[in-house]
């Protein structure tokens, strides 16, 4: 007779939050505050937090530094996912992705559609994996950050979530980098 498995323990992750904005300061960053509040309430550790302007090279440099930092497991950006001339977060970060996470955008838009209707098409929310680090690019509104965290990230960044979650596959994210060449 099989025994029930013991409940899983929560595994806190190091999460860095990047706000992409030409106009916000830390004191005015409601979207970043929303993410920091949600992730710390969930038991995760804020690994770092920064604000950079809507500039491809500055966004990319900050996220590359976090990818290289062993204390950062997840990067969440907010801002720069729209269609205006200064919205360049996907252009900055998608080239870094080793693997795209197309399902994130799909689910994000489903959740968002339920809240704001067809206006969700104005977001280019995206996600992927680079250097064994998860990267999630969210719109720059507190509502979008709440929707993404509450509807997707809270459960997928929780090892206890079944049937599967992002945490349990983290040890294997970089296995393609560790393979021996034949």
Residue with tokens 């990818």: 67
> In DSSP terms, which residues pair with 5 in a beta bridge?
none
Nearest to 126 by CA among 59, 52, 51: 59
Q: What is the pTM of this model?
A: 0.93
Specify the long-range contacts of residues 65-69, CB closer than 8 Å, at least 24 apart.
66/16, 66/18, 66/133, 67/96, 67/130, 67/131, 67/133, 67/135, 68/131, 69/16
Q: Are 108 and 68 in contact (CB under 8 A)?
A: no
Report, at the CATH architecture level, how domain 14-168 is classified: 3-Layer(aba) Sandwich (3.40)
Mean pLDDT (the chain, rounded): 94
**Phi then psi for 64, rounded to 5 degrees?**
-60, -40
Q: Locate the domains of the chain by residue range.
A: 14-168
State pLDDT tens for residues 47-86. 999 999 999 999 999 999 999 999 999 999 999 999 999 9
Per-residue confidence at 3, pLDDT binned at 50, 70, 90? low
Q: Is the dihedral of CA 58, 60, 61, 62 positive or negative?
A: positive
- Report the alpha-carbon distance of residue 19 to residue 13 in Å, rounded: 19
Across the range 43-47, mean pLDDT stands at: 98
pLDDT at residue 1, as a whole number: 54
pLDDT digits (tens, 9 = 90+) for 155-177: 999 999 999 999 999 999 887 76
By three-state DSSP, how is residue 51 classified? strand
Encode pLDDT of 82-135 as tens digits: 999 999 999 999 999 999 999 999 999 999 999 999 999 999 999 999 999 999
Give the pLDDT of residue 174: 82
Question: Looking at the predicted structure, is the pLDDT value of residue 42 above 80?
Answer: yes
The two tokens of residue 158 are: 């929780």
Angle value at C-alpha 19, between 13 and 23, nearest 5 degrees: 165
Q: Give the pLDDT mean for 137-152.
A: 97
């Amino acid at each position: 007779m099989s025994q029930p498995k013991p409940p899983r323990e929560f595994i806190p992750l190091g999460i860095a939050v990047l706000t992409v904005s030409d106009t916000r300061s830390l004191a005015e960053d409601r979207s970043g505050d929303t993410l920091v509040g949600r992730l710390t309430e969930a038991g995760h550790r804020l690994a770092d937090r920064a604000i950079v302007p809507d500039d491809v090279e500055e966004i990319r440099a900050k996220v590359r530094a976090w990818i290289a930092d062993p204390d950062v497991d997840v990067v969440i950006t907010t801002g720069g996912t729209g269609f205006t001339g200064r919205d360049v977060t996907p252009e900055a970060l998608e080239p870094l992705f080793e693997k795209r996470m197309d399902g994130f955008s799909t689910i994000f838009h489903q959740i968002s559609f339920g809240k704001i209707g067809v206006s969700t098409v104005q977001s280019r929310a995206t996600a992927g994996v680079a250097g064994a680090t998860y990267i999630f690019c969210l719109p720059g509104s507190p509502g979008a950050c709440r929707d993404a965290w509450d509807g997707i990230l809270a459960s997928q960044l929780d090892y206890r979530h079944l049937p599967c979650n992002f945490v349990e596959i983290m040890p294997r994210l970089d296995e393609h980098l560790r393979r021996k060449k034949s």
